[in-house]
């Protein structure tokens, strides 16, 4: 039987990481890649039998590449701290790893829950991020600071699991706003080279809202769909405004005091 390493990236996830680790106790190795949490995340992980590796955060791509390097087994399953592996998905992952003729890299569908309900629309289902199951050596990540891409090192096509894992992206509205702020700061670096104005920043934000609420049928998810679209508006708008701030530099700083001048 092939052995499977699971890695979990985390930063201040004390309220979530225990449930995540519990959901992957079937794995042969569990590694929590922590970026110097201050809320006891690493202590919880250690008590539950996970191996904790400290990595200074330099972007999610670098973080995931270092997580791969820390894994010791032939198969790697990536689970974030806000995700839970279901028993059905676990059985499918194990069957894939045990099949010598299986594909090398697999996408994993995610069923997202927000405001007490399964989000069936809003672009959240079926929801995929980078492939989460792969043979070691067949995939790596680029070095974008956020929304990192992946690089395949296999000639085989991508596979897709039939069974979904669960994701709980936000524990409360404060976390919605916190993530919008954090991810917009990281994302600003990706668009800082573009021609930006306050008007274009607003237009990008409005389009993001319309895309998720109308075209991705977010209105069918009730108030949760509205909040998702609004969060996308905020994150997108702030991303471009922060990039504009980076472009303006000194021009956006407060003028020097004119006190004492006539």
pLDDT tens readout for residues 209-244: 999 999 999 999 999 999 999 999 999 999 999 999
Please report the domains of the chain, with CATH numbers, ordered by start residue: 4-167 (3.90.550.10), 173-250 (no CATH)
Residues comprising the chain, all counted: 262
Tokens of 153: 């090192």
Host H or E run for residue 52: strand 51-54
Burial class of residue 83 (count of CB atoms within 10 Å of its CB; 0-12, 13-18, 19+): buried
pLDDT tens readout for residues 77-117: 999 999 999 999 999 999 999 999 999 999 999 999 999 89
Q: List the pLDDT tens digit at each of the 262 positions of the chain.
A: 799 999 999 999 999 999 999 999 999 999 999 999 999 999 999 999 999 999 999 988 999 999 999 999 999 999 999 999 999 999 999 999 999 999 999 999 999 999 989 999 998 888 899 999 999 999 999 987 667 889 999 999 999 999 999 999 887 788 778 878 888 888 898 898 999 999 999 999 999 999 999 999 999 999 999 999 999 999 999 999 999 999 988 778 777 665 555 4
Q: Rounded to an integer, what distance in angstroms lies between the CA atom of residue 41 and that of residue 14?
A: 4
What HEC string does 146-204 produce?
CCCCEEECCCCCCEECCCCEEECCCCCHHHHHHHHHHHHHHHHHHHCCCCCCHHHHHHH
């Amino acid at each position: 039987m092939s052995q499977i390493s699971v890695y979990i990236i985390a930063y201040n996830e004390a309220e979530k990481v225990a449930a995540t680790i519990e959901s992957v106790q079937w794995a042969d190795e569990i590694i929590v890649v922590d970026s110097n949490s201050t809320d006891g995340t690493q202590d919880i992980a250690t008590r539950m039998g996970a191996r904790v590796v400290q990595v200074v955060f330099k972007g999610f791509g670098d973080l995931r590449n270092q997580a791969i390097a820390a894994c010791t087994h032939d198969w790697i399953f990536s689970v974030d701290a806000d995700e839970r592996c279901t028993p059905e998905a676990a059985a499918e992952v194990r069957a894939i790893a045990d099949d010598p003729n299986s594909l090398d890299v697999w996408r994993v569908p995610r069923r997202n829950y927000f405001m007490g309900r399964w989000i069936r629309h809003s672009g959240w289902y079926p929801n995929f991020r980078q492939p989460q199951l792969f043979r070691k050596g067949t995939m790596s990540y680029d070095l974008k600071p956020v929304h990192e891409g992946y690089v395949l090192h296999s000639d085989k096509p991508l596979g897709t699991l039939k069974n979904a894992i669960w994701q709980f992206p936000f524990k409360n509205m404060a976390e919605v706003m916190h993530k919008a702020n954090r991810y917009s700061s990281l994302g600003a670096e990706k668009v800082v080279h573009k021609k930006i104005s306050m008007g274009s920043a607003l237009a990008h934000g409005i389009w993001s809202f319309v895309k998720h609420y109308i075209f991705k049928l977010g209105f069918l998810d009730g108030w949760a769909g509205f909040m998702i679209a609004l969060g996308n508006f905020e994150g997108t708008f702030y991303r471009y405004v922060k990039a504009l701030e980076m472009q303006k530099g000194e021009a956006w700083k407060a003028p020097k005091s004119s006190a004492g001048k006539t």
